[in-house]
A and B are shown apart, each in its own frame.
Chain A
């Protein structure tokens, strides 16, 4: 097991393995997305309160989950970088940031597109929206810091420290914002009561979430391969390609 892990950590090996896995991941992703969309857009009944507009949920909720999941993954990589200085973790951390930022952006935009018909406005200073926005800033900070430092290994360490500081702060920020919100809004108009969802609605959400996980894996592999090629330009294995 450890040997396998160690081997996976070597750039040429990972490069090859990732290349082999990408087609599979892509197909699984496509099948899952097709299933999720079919379930969500066609099979699931309209919501009795929100009509058809709630169908945004099938991309909105999985994006929001991914935005958090990816940050946690990055923080995990950060620990690996700081403790073991593993090159592959650096590559994964850096390659994850734009994907995470994309999902955060999507969660925000789909959220406000959903908010317009439901709440009558594109943006409310709702606790979740606000903390998601701050999460986006954190992602952009990671990307910005990485771009600003030229030496890629130094940049990776800097970003690792930042990601760890961020992950300690995310819960604090989240609860502060939630507390701030409950304080300022009183009985909130944004909390429409949610009856427990029927399976025909939440199963497509879960399928889409799974599909997004596969999507993350496959784009991560794509990005990692590029990053590896760029970093190891002069190494032997790259020349042999």
Chain B
């Protein structure tokens, strides 16, 4: 190891590596997105296709589906790295693990959170959400999904060493998603009724800042525990 990476380089390197891996496994990473669309499709089938009803519950449906899709994709943050041992390499690195964790979580969000931004308007339209609510929908997804990835990373880090981590993961993570769910869906609700949504957006931003600053440390601690 003659050339030592600076922290920034290490961050970029890890981010690029994860994105590249995702690109190679496109099918696997498309699954959560497909799942998101499928879950939302089930609701009109179950509840009847009344336009007023669907428009009323669209924000909630979209956000619950986003939560579930995030849950489904979380495992991929650390699973393959844990299985092939590269996670231990990362933990042995000279750089602060929290920063490297942040790189991995960013990659995860770019691959699983960002695509929701593209399909969400389509689904919102199908559910008959009013046009004035759609910018808010996109905004909440933009701010909210990184929080899901960040909090979820803690849960995955805690359960990655377990054989049946999946079920327990949802028990750990979903309760922590409650605030995001509440503020995001109520922002969209308010926007649909033509009210001001800045309060909710600021709250979501506050959650985002809080989770960006705290969650990588917890994740790093949990990873060290899981790998030991």
Complex: A in contact with B (CB within 8 Å): yes
- On chain A, the number of residues with a Cβ less than 8 Å from chain B's Cβ atoms is 27
Decide if A157 is an interface residue (CB 8 Å cutoff): yes
The interface residues of chain A lying within 8 Å CB-to-CB of B158 are 145, 158, 161-162
Given contacts A148-B162, A148-B168, A158-B226, contact A176 B182 (CB under 8 A): yes
The residue that B171 contacts in the complex, of A137, A157, A158, A161, with Cβ under 8 A, is: A137
> Does B182 lie within 8 Å of A177, measured CB to CB?
yes
- The reply to whether B172 and A145 contact each other, CB–CB distance below 8 Å, is yes
Q: Give the number of residues in B that approach A within 8 Å (Cβ atoms).
A: 28
CB atoms of B162 and A161 under 8 A apart: no
Is A154 in the interface zone, CB < 8 Å from B?
yes
Residues in B with CB closer than 8 Å to A172 are 179, 207, 210
Residue B73 at the A interface, CB < 8 A? no
Shortest C-beta distance, A101 to chain B (Å), equals: 12
The interface residues of chain A, by DSSP majority, are classed as helix
Q: Name the CB-closest residue of A to B180.
A: A176
Evaluate contact between A180 and B168: CB separation under 8 angstroms: no
A23 at the interface (CB under 8 A from B): no
Instruction: Check if B171 sits within 8 Å of A141, measured CB to CB.
Output: yes
Q: How distant is the Cα of A162 from the Cα of B221 in the complex, in angstroms?
A: 11
CA distance A158 to B186 in the complex (A): 33
Given contacts A154-B228, A158-B226, A161-B154, contact A145 B159 (CB under 8 A): yes
With an 8 A cutoff between CB atoms, is A30 at the interface?
no
Query: Nearest chain-B residue to A150 (Cβ)?
Result: B162
- CB–CB A176/B168 < 8 A: no
| Chain B residues, Cβ within 8 Å of A137 | 171, 174-175
B183 at the interface (CB under 8 A from A): yes
How far does the Cβ of A234 sit from chain B's closest Cβ, in whole Å?
Answer: 21
Q: Which B residues are CB-close (under 8 A) to A158?
A: 158, 222, 225-226
Complex Cα gap A140–B154 (Å): 17
**Chain B residues near A154 (CB-CB < 8 A):** 225, 228
Q: Kindly report which residue of chain B lies nearest to residue A134, judged by CB atoms.
A: B175
- In the complex, whether A208 has a CB less than 8 A from a CB of chain B is no
Docked-complex contact B221 and A161, CB < 8 angstroms: yes
Distance between Cα atoms of A144 and B207 in the complex (Å): 26
A172 to B179, CA, bound (A): 7
B186 contacts which of A161, A164, A180 (Cβ < 8 Å)? Answer: A180
B228 contacts across to A, CB distance below 8 A:
154
Chain A stretch 130-153: residues in CB contact (< 8 A) with chain B: 134, 137-138, 140-141, 144-145, 148-149
Given contacts A141-B171, A148-B162, A158-B158, contact A169 B225 (CB under 8 A): no
Within 8 A of A (CB), among B159-178: 159, 161-162, 164-165, 168, 171-172, 174-176, 178
Does A22 sit at the interface, judged by CB under 8 A?
no
In the complex, residue of chain B having the shortest beta-carbon distance to the beta carbon of A131: B178
Q: A238 on the interface (CB 8 Å rule)?
A: no
Interface assignment of A3: CB less than 8 Å from any CB of chain B: no
> Does B131 reach chain A (CB closer than 8 Å)?
no
> Is A173 a contact partner of B222 (Cβ separation < 8 A)?
no
Complex formed: what's the CA distance from A101 to B201 in Å? 34
Of B168, B174, B178, B226, the contact of A144 (CB 8 Å cutoff): B168
| Additional 10 contacts, C-beta under 8 A, given A145-B172, A166-B176, A176-B178 | A82-B221, A141-B175, A145-B168, A148-B162, A148-B164, A149-B162, A165-B176, A173-B178, A176-B203, A183-B186
Q: List 17 interface pairs A-B (beta carbons < 8 Å), by A numbering.
A: A137-B171, A141-B171, A148-B162, A149-B162, A157-B225, A158-B225, A161-B221, A162-B154, A164-B218, A165-B176, A165-B218, A168-B214, A169-B176, A172-B179, A176-B178, A176-B203, A179-B182
Interface of B with A (CB < 8 Å)?
Answer: 154, 158-159, 161-162, 164-165, 168, 171-172, 174-176, 178-179, 182-183, 186, 203, 207, 210, 214, 218, 221-222, 225-226, 228
